[in-house]
Amino acid sequence: MPDRAQTLAKTLELIEPFNKKGIAVTEATRFAQDLEWDSLTVLDFVANIEDEFDVLISMNMQAEIETVGQLVDALEKLKA
């Protein structure tokens, strides 16, 4: 599997425990509007992502990330 596909698969896996509404998650899914995450959920999820990929996602970066696809892109850049 290419790198980006792997990152996406892992990201989707980490989203699932917080997918309380059980919606179908795609790259276009938005964290705030579609998954309806509050700030505390975001913190927990970001912490898991950071630990999984061993990266730091600052609040400044989080403000720019709206969708799952954007997060995967950001992770690809951080890992590079």
Partner 1 sequence: MTDLFSKFDPLIQQREQLLSTGVTDPFNLVMERVESPTVAICNGKRTILLGTYNYMGMTFDPDVIAAGKKALDEFGSGTTGSRVLNGTYGPHKAVEQALKDFYAMDHAMVFSTGYQANLGVISTIAGKEDYIVLDIDSHASIYDGCAMGNAQIVPFRHNDVEALEKRLKRIPEGAGKLVVLEGVYSMMGDVAPLKEMVAVSKANGAMVLVDEAHSMGFIGEHGRGVAEAQGVIDDVDFIIGTFSKSVGTVGGFCVSNHPKFEILRLVCRPYVFTASLPPSVVATAATSIRKLMDSKAKREHLWENSKRLHAGLRQLGFTLGTDEPQSAIIAVIMPDLEKGAAMWEALLNEGLYVNLARPPATPAGMTLLRCSLCALHTDEQVGEILGMFAAAGRATGCIS
Cβ(75)–Cβ(55) below 8 Å: yes
Q: Provide, rounded to whole angstroms, the least separation between the CB of residue 58 and partner 1.
A: 4
Backbone φ and ψ for 34, nearest 5 degrees, come out as -90, -45
Single-letter code of the amino acid located at 36? E
Q: Does 80 bind partner 1 (CB under 8 A)?
A: no
Query: Can you tell me which of 12, 14, 25, 55 binds partner 1, judged by CB under 8 A?
Result: 55
Backbone φ and ψ for 74, nearest 5 degrees, come out as -65, -40
Q: Does 58 bind partner 1 (CB under 8 A)?
A: yes
Query: Can you tell me which of 3, 51, 77, 79 binds partner 1, judged by CB under 8 A?
Result: 51
